[in-house]
A and B are shown apart, each in its own frame.
Chain A
Amino acid sequence: MSIADDLIPPRPAPPVKAFRWTGLRILGASLLGLWILAGIALVLWLIDAWDIDKVTTYGPKFLSGLATTLTLVAISVSLGALLSVPIAFGRMSSNRFISSIAYGYVYFFRGTPLIAQLFLIYYGFGSFRDEFEAVGLWVFFRDAWNCALFAFTLNTAAYQAEILRGAIESVTRGQHEGAAALGLTRLQTFHRIIMPQAMIVALRPYGNEIILMIKGSAIVAIVTVFDLMGETRRAYSRTFDFQTYIWAAVFYLVIVEALRNIWEKLEQRLTRHLNR
């Protein structure tokens, strides 16, 4: 057996690698430079194209369009959340008839484009005008705004039902058993044990769904609802000024990014007990 009798002498730390302009660094710098240049050019162009007449004419319209978009999304997401509860429970039902109806509903609304659903309701329901008039519903479906609200609610209910179902099913069986052992009723179990845990799982998908709805709501402009996109299209068709689209893009990006960041903060706050 050999014994080391002298230690390795201390050595300096390895030298810091000299900065070198590799091909990838040059690519990265030039791509970032391109973005910065594009951003500066955009700002300069917007300043150059700033026209106080257009701003006073179309500025308030843009803001009212923005309000329309946000109202539409807020109402349809809330109504969809209500509607999604029975659908989610239908999906989880052991009755095959109920669960297959709920599955069919979810499959239809998630498998077809929202714009096709909107057309089916807005234009398609016109085929049944007499029937709707007979039951007094035609007043509702005559209006594009109502049709959009109806279509969006049905659509988001399908997506939210899947989010809810996934979240509820992600709660482990032990939690149900623990609640049963404590003698809680089914309603108490659901309210006190299952829901709080499920909602944390569902938080992120819900945020994504709201963002998807804000982006998806732009299609109501096609059926003559003047939301942000509708006002943009109207302004463009009158001025042929491309900056209307740029402003719309800025508005949408700001809303989506703000919502994303708020949601992230919210999630961090609500899950802070899970961080160790």
Chain B
Amino acid sequence: MEPTATLGGQLYAFVSLFDPFCGPFGLLNLLPEGSLLSCGDTGWGDEVARGFFVTITLALCTLPIGLIIGLFLALAKQTEIRTLRTAANIYTTIFRGLPELLTIFMIYFGLQIAVREVAIALGFERGFDINSFIAGTIALSLVFSAYASEVLSSAFKAIPKGQYEAGHALGLRPGKTMRLIILPQLVRIALPGLGNLWMILIKDTALISVIGLGDTLRQTGIAAKVTKEAFFFYGTACLLFLALAMASSVVFSKIETWVRRSGVNQ
């Protein structure tokens, strides 16, 4: 069957129109035929571009999970209940203290073992393979949430108690006070710190290549091994990460000015 015959194929064809690397208007098409980074079977452009999208997808999948866990951790850290605070602090200490690479290996191999044990206990013949993308997302979410909880809890401390009291005086329930009064201010205070964490997250995604996920670093690494042009391809990887960092800082300064608009004391 022709790949464009199915709906998914048509969708793919449509989306690839906007592929900035190898699409019809892609940058890499400007390269001369047969260069190292050209698209198609002759060059490595499309493989590297695919890795680049995997990197972005991984970071974008990790971000919401990490933020939500981090927010709950930050909430736990500022309650009066000591057990909850201690539990959250243990989490932060562990995942901020472990090297990211070790966390990734432990999640990847540990999850593999755990799934196998569970599967055998449930009566399957053997375990299932854990996708390195999923293991990577989990590991990075754990690390990201530990750091994010620190940023968010220091932002919580910057919000005066009077804001909670005002919410109470207006007759809002605690959940509504949080959503309508505290969180909008929290975002404004925490945004620079979260921006830094996003940059760190992008760089940490490169570590997932060691458990076999075909991200930017792994794809360029394969290209480097095959073509023996290691400096060129690892340099390309560095430049791609740099481009991602630049794009993120542009986006973040846009978001920051947008959020700051509603600020009172600017």
Chain A contacts to B: CB under 8 angstroms: 24-25, 27-29, 31-32, 34-35, 107-108, 111-117, 119-120, 123-128, 214-219, 221-222, 229, 232-233, 236, 242, 245, 248-249, 252-253, 256-257
Q: From residue B112, how far is it (CB to closest CB) to chain A in Å?
A: 10
The DSSP consensus for interface residues of chain B is helix
* Contact residues, B170-212 vs A (CB, 8 A): 199, 203-207, 209-210
When the two chains form their complex, are residues A31 and B83 in contact, meaning their CB atoms are under 8 A apart?
Answer: yes
Q: A116-B237, A249-B102 are in contact. Are A236 and B84 (CB under 8 A)?
A: no
When the two chains form their complex, are residues B203 and A24 in contact, meaning their CB atoms are under 8 A apart?
Answer: no
B94, B230, B232 pick with most chain A CB within 10 angstroms: B230
Within the complex, which residue of B100, B209, B228, B246 is in contact with A215, where a contact is CB–CB below 8 Å?
B100
When the two chains form their complex, are residues A27 and B84 in contact, meaning their CB atoms are under 8 A apart?
Answer: yes
Quick one: closest A residue to B112, CB to CB?
A242
- Residues of B contacting A32 in the complex (Cβ-Cβ under 8 angstroms): 83-84, 86-87, 90
Q: B64 in the interface, Cβ–Cβ < 8 Å?
A: no
Q: From residue B54, how far is it (CB to closest CB) to chain A in Å?
A: 14
Q: From residue B175, how far is it (CB to closest CB) to chain A in Å?
A: 13
How far does the alpha carbon of A40 sit from the alpha carbon of B102 in the complex, in Å? 22
- Residues of B contacting A111 in the complex (Cβ-Cβ under 8 angstroms): 199, 241-242, 245-246
Chain A to chain B contacts (Cβ below 8 Å), 28 pairs: A24-B79, A24-B81, A25-B81, A25-B84, A28-B81, A32-B90, A34-B87, A108-B238, A111-B242, A111-B246, A112-B203, A115-B206, A115-B209, A116-B237, A116-B241, A119-B221, A120-B231, A120-B234, A120-B237, A127-B231, A219-B101, A222-B210, A229-B101, A245-B105, A245-B109, A248-B102, A249-B102, A253-B93
Quick one: closest A residue to B84, CB to CB?
A28
When the two chains form their complex, are residues A116 and B81 in contact, meaning their CB atoms are under 8 A apart?
Answer: no
Q: From residue B160, how far is it (CB to closest CB) to chain A in Å?
A: 23
- Residues of B contacting A245 in the complex (Cβ-Cβ under 8 angstroms): 102, 105-106, 109-110
Within the complex, which residue of A107, A124, A242 is in contact with B109, where a contact is CB–CB below 8 Å?
A242
Quick one: closest A residue to B101, CB to CB?
A218
18 further interface pairs, Cβ-Cβ under 8 Å (given A28-B87, A123-B234): A24-B81, A28-B76, A32-B87, A34-B87, A111-B242, A113-B205, A113-B217, A116-B206, A116-B237, A119-B237, A123-B224, A217-B99, A219-B101, A221-B101, A229-B99, A242-B113, A252-B97, A257-B93
- Residues of A contacting B110 in the complex (Cβ-Cβ under 8 angstroms): 242, 245
Within the complex, which residue of B90, B101, B231 is in contact with A35, where a contact is CB–CB below 8 Å?
B90
How far does the alpha carbon of A24 sit from the alpha carbon of B87 in the complex, in Å? 12
- Residues of B contacting A233 in the complex (Cβ-Cβ under 8 angstroms): 105
When the two chains form their complex, are residues B102 and A114 in contact, meaning their CB atoms are under 8 A apart?
Answer: no
Within the complex, which residue of A113, A126, A214, A218 is in contact with B230, where a contact is CB–CB below 8 Å?
A126
When the two chains form their complex, are residues B79 and A124 in contact, meaning their CB atoms are under 8 A apart?
Answer: no
Quick one: closest A residue to B75, CB to CB?
A24
How far does the alpha carbon of A248 sit from the alpha carbon of B86 in the complex, in Å? 24
- Residues of A contacting B113 in the complex (Cβ-Cβ under 8 angstroms): 242
Q: A28-B81, A215-B100 are in contact. Are A113 and B234 (CB under 8 A)?
A: no
Q: A116-B238, A124-B230 are in contact. Are A29 and B83 (CB under 8 A)?
A: yes
> What 7 A-B pairs come out closest when comparing CB atoms?
A28-B84, A124-B231, A28-B83, A113-B206, A218-B99, A31-B87, A127-B231
Q: Tell me the count of chain B residues lying within 8 A, CB to CB, of chain A.
A: 48
Contact string against A for B residues 70-111, beta-carbon threshold 8 Å, 1 for contact and 0 otherwise: 000000100101111111001001101111111001100110
Q: From residue B118, how far is it (CB to closest CB) to chain A in Å?
A: 15
When the two chains form their complex, are residues A249 and B87 in contact, meaning their CB atoms are under 8 A apart?
Answer: no
Quick one: closest B residue to A25, CB to CB?
B81
When the two chains form their complex, are residues B203 and A113 in contact, meaning their CB atoms are under 8 A apart?
Answer: yes
When the two chains form their complex, are residues B203 and A114 in contact, meaning their CB atoms are under 8 A apart?
Answer: yes
Q: B33 in the interface, Cβ–Cβ < 8 Å?
A: no
How far does the alpha carbon of A27 sit from the alpha carbon of B98 in the complex, in Å? 26
Q: A108-B242, A215-B99 are in contact. Are A116 and B93 (CB under 8 A)?
A: no
When the two chains form their complex, are residues A252 and B99 in contact, meaning their CB atoms are under 8 A apart?
Answer: yes
Contact string against A for B residues 221-240, beta-carbon threshold 8 Å, 1 for contact and 0 otherwise: 10010001111101101100
- Residues of B contacting A218 in the complex (Cβ-Cβ under 8 angstroms): 99-102
How far does the alpha carbon of A242 sit from the alpha carbon of B102 in the complex, in Å? 12
How far does the alpha carbon of A215 sit from the alpha carbon of B207 in the complex, in Å? 13
- Residues of A contacting B209 in the complex (Cβ-Cβ under 8 angstroms): 115
- Residues of B contacting A222 in the complex (Cβ-Cβ under 8 angstroms): 210
How far does the alpha carbon of A86 sit from the alpha carbon of B35 in the complex, in Å? 39
- Residues of B contacting A27 in the complex (Cβ-Cβ under 8 angstroms): 84
- Residues of B contacting A119 in the complex (Cβ-Cβ under 8 angstroms): 217, 221, 230, 234, 237
Q: From residue A40, how far is it (CB to closest CB) to chain B in Å?
A: 14
Quick one: closest B residue to A255, CB to CB?
B97
